[in-house]
Structures are given as structure tokens and as C-alpha cells.
Amino acid sequence: MSERYKLNEARKRLEPTSLLCQYCWKAISEKMEDNYFAPVYREKNRVNAVVFRSVNFNKIHVGIPRCPSCKKNHQNNKIVGWIIGLIVALLIVKLVTVYFAGQISYAIFFGILGFIIPLFFVSKLATTIIVVRSGIFTEREGAEREPQVMALLREGWTLDQPSA
Ligand SMILES: [Zn+2]
């Protein structure tokens, strides 16, 4: 493990000792809880990487230094993204119910799909676009560029939750 991190065993996370915000590269992190803790998962069916001597994790959070302004940007734009996703999802549900008027089972089936899929994907996409346009990295982009996370990814860990 690099010197840039301290293992917090109780919280199963690596806490950064460096302060430079990895999202804007301008400001510094002021509080540990402002940092973004990226979940990193050990992939199944892969050789167990010995990462921390006596400690064996299947999932660990790696803290990415983040300044208060980038934290606020990420949090606010997550909310904006959800609102956009919700509006798109409701519009699609409206279209589906008009299109399948009289065919109630189709209307329900496609209505549910037409609600859930845009809600998740449009929300995520909208958040990403707004954050990137504001000139900083998204939570995920910042995590992917962080040397400790990159080292874990090279050893067979993943940022995506492995399917059971
Ligand atoms: Zn920042």
C-alpha cells in the first residue's frame, strides 16, 4: 500500500493522506468526509490478490481527495440528474399509456420498463454530462485515475459490483 493512504480497518476503507482534489486539481480537501470513497470490489474467480497483509476484503472503499466545492457539485448534480431522469421517465410512461391505450397488460409492462430504465440511465447520463461540462471529473472518473485504485484494478479488482 502506498504512503498516500492509511487503512481504516473498522470502516473498511483507505483514507487518503494527500489533500489535492483529484476532481478539479486546484483546491484541497478540507475534511475526510468530503472525500469520495469509491467502492472497489474483488472479482470472483480470480486469484486472490494479497493487498493488505493481515486483512482480507472483498470490497474496500478508497478515498479520493475531494474539495468542498467538487463535493457540492457532485451532490447537487446527482439531484439534478435524478430530476431530469424522473421527468424523462414520466414522459415515456405517458407515451406508453397513450400508445397502448386499451391494451392494459402491455401498457403496464412497457410502462414499468419505460419508467425504470430511463430513470436510472438518463439520471446517470444527465449527471455525468452536467458535471463534465462544469469542468471537473465525475466521481467515477476521478476514482479511475487515482493511482491506488488503478493499482487495485490492475490486480483484478473492479469498480463495478460483481454479479452474484
Ligand atoms: Zn475540487
**Residues with pLDDT less than 50, the chain:** 50
Predicted confidence at residue 46, as pLDDT, reads: 59
Neighbours of ion ligand 1 (CB under 5 A): 21, 23-24, 27, 67, 70
CA distance 148 to 99: 50
Q: Which residues of 14-51 are buried (b: 16+ CB within 10 A; e: fewer)?
A: bbbebeebbbbeebebeeeebbbbbebbbeeeeeeeeb
Cα(45) to ligand 1 centroid in Å equals: 37
Q: Which residues of 111-142 are buried (b: 16+ CB within 10 A; e: fewer)?
A: beebbeebbeebbbebbbebbeeeebbbbbeb
- pTM score: 0.82
Cα(6) to ligand 1 centroid in Å equals: 21
Cα(116) to ligand 1 centroid in Å equals: 32
C-alpha cell at 23: 476532481
Predicted confidence at residue 122, as pLDDT, reads: 95
Cα(43) to ligand 1 centroid in Å equals: 30
Q: Give the count of alpha carbons within 13 A of 87, CB side only.
A: 6
**50, 70 contact by CB (below 8 A):** no
Cα(135) to ligand 1 centroid in Å equals: 10
Q: Taking the mean position of all CA atoms in its chain, how far away is CA 62?
A: 12
Predicted confidence at residue 36, as pLDDT, reads: 97
Cα(113) to ligand 1 centroid in Å equals: 37
Cα(131) to ligand 1 centroid in Å equals: 12
CA distance 130 to 74: 9
